[in-house]
Amino acid sequence: MAEYWSTLDVDLHLAVDPASGRRVGLEHALREAIRDGRLGAGTRLPSTRTLAVELGLARGTVSAAYDQLVAEGHLVAVRGSGTHVAELAGQGVPSGLRAAPRSSDSLESLDALGAPSALGLPSTSGLPSAWVGEQARSRPKPLGNNLLPGSPDLSHFPRAAWLRASRRAVNQAPNDAFGYGDPRGRVELRRALAEYLGRARGVLADPERIVVVSGAVQGLALLGQVLGGVVAMEDPYIPLFHEVVRSHGAEVVPLPVDDDGARVDLLAGPDFDQVGTVVVTPSHQYPIGSTLHPARRQALVEWACEGRRLVVEDDYDGEFRYDRQPVGAVQGMAPERVVYLGTASKTLGPGIRLAWMVLPEPLVGPVTEVKRHADHQSESLGQLTLAEFIASHDYDRHVRAARLRYRRRRDLLAERLHTRAGRPAAGFALGGIAAGLHALVRLEPAGMTEVEVLKRASEFDLELEGLGGLWHTAPANALASSAARPQGIVVGFGSPTEAAYPRALDALVRTLSWR
């Protein structure tokens, strides 16, 4: 989903006051946005042309404003890589948090309201009052070429089968299903999941140790509250996930990633000696697409066991592997040291908000307690429906059909990029394993930059996400510095409908075949 997986096209509301003249007004608005952190250090600004079009200003006006702010030290212009917010220009919002547009002046009016002002979340202080939905509404609709990652093909949600399962579930439910219940979730679903996760993902799952949550976001929020301390999270990774853990009480340090998955070797180093928990995507790193090397899996488990530490395994798309049998979950190697986090968001759809954690025994009580304080329990009827859906093997059938569909899509992507990309002046290569719903198109140094690709994509009405917004800079971790960063495009081949996919691929090929 677009809002989740931030792109370089930062959505930013700039209230340009026409009274002070357009150029001066724009300069002022940009300066304010940098100062109050809506434009964080390192953020790449839109091209002068793009911003001019968006604001309805002359391109020269925007260029002049950029030049002025470069001269002031607020911005930095780098040939071939555009204009960025200078590193010390402001107190940045966490990287990758899409600065949402500010609808009016709501923080001012919140103060005016006199409400006790502390916004609980560190990451939202000085933050936008606007939100995804408004953003989506106010932005012109994409014209159908959408290769953004984060979503399966929603047109394949199994409506009829789901309704059948729902009817059986609601008709058979005991009365207490409609009341308050166990914060861990319905036992019917926990039993079905224990069986499914055991056979499909090699997870050692006892229904008593499963907590059903409303999506992976909630799982991470609850773990942040219970575990606290210092949590290492992969870099690059989904910015919202870093934010969620941080805003629920833990300190987050970024852990670099390469073609063999998370750099587990670094955990022994001085930058990570306070780390008590590490969050990883071993089956299919998001967004790089690598799988955790067997030696690193072993090292990870040893690190956890020896130091009595914890691994959180985000197995968001473990069902989808196309080149071989899926690798089993790390959890199966050390169920007392690994929290397994799975979800129906990629197999069915994020809208049903069903995910699950399999916990080491000592965490069951504390996680259940914070879940009770968060929302008492997840909604029952969806849980009973999913339990039916799994028990009837409709879930297996659905996953199998989806696996075939997405495998064909990835094959088509590879074929189009390798054999038909015309005369690619921009060097690129398809990275990552054949799995999941996304692939990384790596951009080689000689070719187009991410910014150039994204800009060109927009000319073909193609929505793409660059790697750029998924990095988490931290001074403590030199390895994640931007110098060492590869450039790439995260292609979400799962998102379009079947009918739209070939057209979207055409647009991608044309985008990459420039010059």
Q: Which element (helix H / strand E) includes 76?
A: strand 75-78
d(CA 203, CA 315): 11
Among the listed residues 5, 474, 483, the one whose alpha carbon sits nearest the alpha carbon of residue 254: 474
Cis amide prior to 256 (ω within 30 degrees): no
Range list of H helices, 342-485: 361-375, 380-391, 394-419, 450-459
State in angstroms the smallest separation of the CB of 303 from its own copies.
11
d(CA 13, CA 107): 14
Q: Are 435 and 321 in contact (CB under 8 A)?
A: yes
- If the CB atoms of residues 481 and 497 are measured against its own copies, the closer one turns out to be 497
Q: Quote the DSSP letter at residue 75.
A: E
State in angstroms the smallest separation of the CB of 191 from its own copies.
13
- If the CB atoms of residues 44 and 337 are measured against its own copies, the closer one turns out to be 337
- If the CB atoms of residues 338 and 448 are measured against its own copies, the closer one turns out to be 338
State in angstroms the smallest separation of the CB of 124 from its own copies.
5
The two three-digit tokens of residue 160, written as one number? 């009829």
- If the CB atoms of residues 67 and 251 are measured against its own copies, the closer one turns out to be 251
- If the CB atoms of residues 269 and 365 are measured against its own copies, the closer one turns out to be 365
State in angstroms the smallest separation of the CB of 212 from its own copies.
11
State in angstroms the smallest separation of the CB of 193 from its own copies.
15
- If the CB atoms of residues 42 and 249 are measured against its own copies, the closer one turns out to be 249
State in angstroms the smallest separation of the CB of 513 from its own copies.
30
Beta-bridge partners for 249: none
Among the listed residues 15, 429, 138, the one whose alpha carbon sits nearest the alpha carbon of residue 259: 429
Q: Which residues contact 271 (CB under 8 A, 6 or more apart)?
A: 253, 476, 477
SS3 489: strand
d(CA 319, CA 317): 5
Q: Which element (helix H / strand E) includes 343?
A: strand 338-343
Q: Are 181 and 375 in contact (CB under 8 A)?
A: no
State in angstroms the smallest separation of the CB of 273 from its own copies.
13
- If the CB atoms of residues 62 and 231 are measured against its own copies, the closer one turns out to be 231
Q: Which element (helix H / strand E) includes 165?
A: helix 159-172
State in angstroms the smallest separation of the CB of 118 from its own copies.
4
Residue matched to tokens 């059938």: 397
d(CA 242, CA 473): 12
Q: Which residues contact 56 (CB under 8 A, 6 or more apart)?
A: none
State in angstroms the smallest separation of the CB of 324 from its own copies.
29
State in angstroms the smallest separation of the CB of 231 from its own copies.
8
- If the CB atoms of residues 388 and 450 are measured against its own copies, the closer one turns out to be 388
- If the CB atoms of residues 53 and 121 are measured against its own copies, the closer one turns out to be 121
Write out 73-133 in H/E/C secondary structure: CCEEEECCCEEEECCCCCCCCCCCCCCCCCCCCHHHHHHHHCCCCCCCCHHHCCCCCCCHH
Q: How far apart are the first and last CA of the chain?
A: 30
d(CA 354, CA 346): 11
- If the CB atoms of residues 91 and 131 are measured against its own copies, the closer one turns out to be 131
